Amino acid sequence: MNRRDFIKSFLSLISLSLLGKTGSDYSLAARAENQSFNLKIPARNKWLSSLGNGSNYFGFLAIGDMGTGWATEYELIKLMALNSPQYFPSVILLGDLIYPSAKANLIEPNLIKPFSPLLDKGHRFYPILGNHDNLESKGKYIKEYFEIPEYYTFSLGPVQFWALNSNELNAQQMNWLNLSAQKSQAKWKIALLHHSPYSSGSVHKNNNHMIKTLCPSLKKYNFDLCLSGHNHLYERIGMVPEAGNCRFIVSGGGSASLHKFEQKVYFDRQAVNSCHHYLRIWGNQTQMAVEAVNLQGKVFDQAILRKA
Ligand SMILES: [Fe+2]
């Protein structure tokens, strides 16, 4: 997305609102151009605890369940690389980075080679572990390659992220999450995990363990958004009683074979699409724009989250 398209797209999103409030920041895109993010290409994509910290603007791309090495993975990444690293300096990988399991010899063909258009442009990568990644020594080779711990937190401008390992969402990890979320002064809070707490996908439905374990913390510490994958589809879910104001987006359509939807749902399902796609998310202190982009490069779902 070039500067003109970015501004046009942002202004068109201003009219959308999930909370029904009005108001906008028309200078956001212009200011974004002047941000100085740390775009130095890391030797091995080492994650940083903060990027663009202190600035008002943030922007990132996200994709889940992509690590097949198939044409769909290459095509989506090619589309993702059309977005400027200046506006979207970070790429979040929502798990299942390598199919069928994250063996050391599959990192190059299933991950590094397909992602080279984004790696070459200097985007910063923040991966989380999926169930397929976990099959091989609990994600050892992915953790080594990206130099990430099992779970971690990082900030992009006014947003703090908690990159969780949903393969083992145990008491130790939850204590860490609770303590660090309690201390957080971030304007926005986003949880990242592979297994979706909620979904009406026909293969993986609601995950009661996640709902019971994670949702009370999302509610207590005022999380705004939870991004997950595992279900090979797109699903935007509104508020659910267990999670307070936190909204959920399931984005597992990164390349692997698509899943269908169940007709019956027990939560506020706002948008669904069983298609290959990636996410483009950006905003400032008071609003966050979400766009889902399909294999044709078309935006098929848009939403804005707002806060005072
Ligand atoms: Fe998965």
Q: According to CATH, what is the number of the domain 3-25+64-306?
A: 3.60.21.10
Sequence-distant (≥ 6) Cβ neighbours of residue 298 within 8 angstroms? none
Do 228 and 194 form a contact (C-beta atoms < 8 A)? yes
Q: How far is the CA of 232 from the centre of ligand 1 (A)?
A: 8
Residue 235's pLDDT is 96
- Which ranges of the chain have pLDDT less than 50? 10-43, 45
pTM (2 decimals)?
Answer: 0.86
Tens digits of per-residue pLDDT, 212-250?
A: 999 999 999 999 999 999 999 999 999 899 999 999 999
pLDDT of residue 188: 96
Q: What is the DSSP letter of 209?
A: H
State the distance from the centre of ligand 1 to the C-alpha of 130, rounded, in angstroms: 5
Residue 278 CA to ligand 1 center (angstroms) comes to 16
pLDDT at residue 265, rounded to an integer: 83
- Quote the ligand 1 centre to 218 CA distance (angstroms): 22
**Residue type, position 273, single letter:** N
Residue 51: alpha-carbon gap to chain centroid:
16
**Within 10 A of 19 (CB to CB), how many other CB atoms are there?**
11
How far does the centroid of ligand 1 lie from the alpha carbon of residue 230, in Å?
4
Would you state the pLDDT for residue 245?
A: 94
pLDDT given at position 241: 92
| C-alpha neighbours within 13 Å on the C-beta side of residue 294 | 13
User: What is the pLDDT at residue 237?
Assistant: 95
pLDDT of residue 279: 97
Give residue 131's pLDDT. 97
What backbone phi and psi angles, to 5 degrees, belong to 235? -150, 125
Q: Could you report the per-residue pLDDT of 264-304, keeping only the tens digit for each?
A: 788 889 999 999 999 999 999 989 999 999 999 999 999 99
Domain ranges of the chain: 3-25+64-306
How far does the centroid of ligand 1 lie from the alpha carbon of residue 104, in Å? 19
